[in-house]
Amino acid sequence: MKTKILLVNTIAICLFIFFINWYIEKDPQGKINSSILNRYTKNFDIKNIDIAEYPTEDSLVKRVELTKENMEKFCGKTKIEYGETKEEKNPIVVLGCSYAYGQGLKDEETFSYLLSEYTNRPVISFAHCGSQGVENLIIAKNYEKQDRLKSADYFIYVYMHDHINRFFSFDNISTNYNSFFKTTNIENLLLKIPVTKYILVDIRTRKILKGFPYTDKSNEFLKKNILLANEKIKEYNPNAKFIVILYNEKMINDYNPCYIKFNLDKYNDNIWDDLRKYNITIVKTEDIMGFPFDKDYKLEEDITDWHPNARAWKEFTPKFASKYIKDIQREIK
């Protein structure tokens, strides 16, 4: 009898472990991907965050219409190419999230399109809604024209305030675990098991975020992600120029307490200065424009007051291109 009970319990435990492994590996509802960060940020002090008025019903209707009308463009593509007729010229690769992707904008209003027009070069954009530069470069590995990426001499990453949070995602840390941390042979073995991989990522994240939100370790982790992106770029072209654009803006609406409040003016400046030592070009939009982008440079229909509008890219792109992209063959007015 005891043998049967032991056998049943053993089978039950194995099935339970199998299910947990499957659930973590598949993450069917995306809950695990954000659970770690949310656990450390749920008690974040928001008393000093400016809370704007809630969006009106009219603005919500406009937002729904906007996303419905542009659903495919909103987040439907992981690769957009402009200037295909300029194949003989070295392409420029654009990385980033919905800012660089052009959420809510027509093709001809996006940063990538304008960059192609002003530089007279093909531009390949791997920017995608809700993503970040390291993730873009992983997606780029599946691009059918790898030779084009190897001939790209500029990789431009549009970094905005929320990317630091996305670097803390379970997917990012688990995928690039060995690049971020020194590991032992036993640890590498445990990483092959979803349950223990989750535990290891959780432990590592706990250490990084101890003292959240402003810590030296989280600063260092941000730096590691930018350097990892730089390494992946050098695999394509060792001589490629890596440019990080820090999209400097005035936040208008309330900031989700589950995010790290991040101000480009006052925080992480030392990190960006350190990254310049690795031959990475750091460009603040404020340095190009002379001011942080405010509500006049945001999509009117966007209830978050985050995403840049056509005016933002129209004014920024030619000034940026003329200063940082060499051999421009089109006169910029």
Tell me the pLDDT tens digit for each residue of 51-109. Answer: 334 445 565 555 555 555 554 555 556 678 887 777 678 999 999 998 999 887 888 99
pLDDT at 29: 43
pLDDT at 187 over 80: yes
Q: Which of 123, 131, 129 is nearest to 93 (CA)?
A: 123
For residues 30 and 34, give the distance between their C-alpha atoms in angstroms, rounded to a whole number: 7
Confidence of residue 333 (pLDDT cuts 50, 70, 90): very low
Over range 3-30, report the average pLDDT: 61
Could you tell me the strand order of the sheet in which 123-125 lies?
80-82, 123-125, 92-95, 154-159, 241-246, 281-284
User: Percentage of the chain with pLDDT > 70?
Assistant: 65
pLDDT at 328 over 60: no
pLDDT at 65: 58
pLDDT at 276 over 50: yes
pLDDT at 53: 41
The CATH superfamily label for domain 43-168+209-324 reads SGNH hydrolase (3.40.50.1110)
pLDDT at 195: 78
CB 314 within 8 A of CB 307: no
Reading the block at residue 302, the tokens are 């966007």
User: Percentage of the chain with pLDDT > 90?
Assistant: 35
For residues 110 and 91, give the distance between their C-alpha atoms in angstroms, rounded to a whole number: 17
- What pTM was estimated for this model as a whole? 0.81
Average pLDDT along the chain:
77
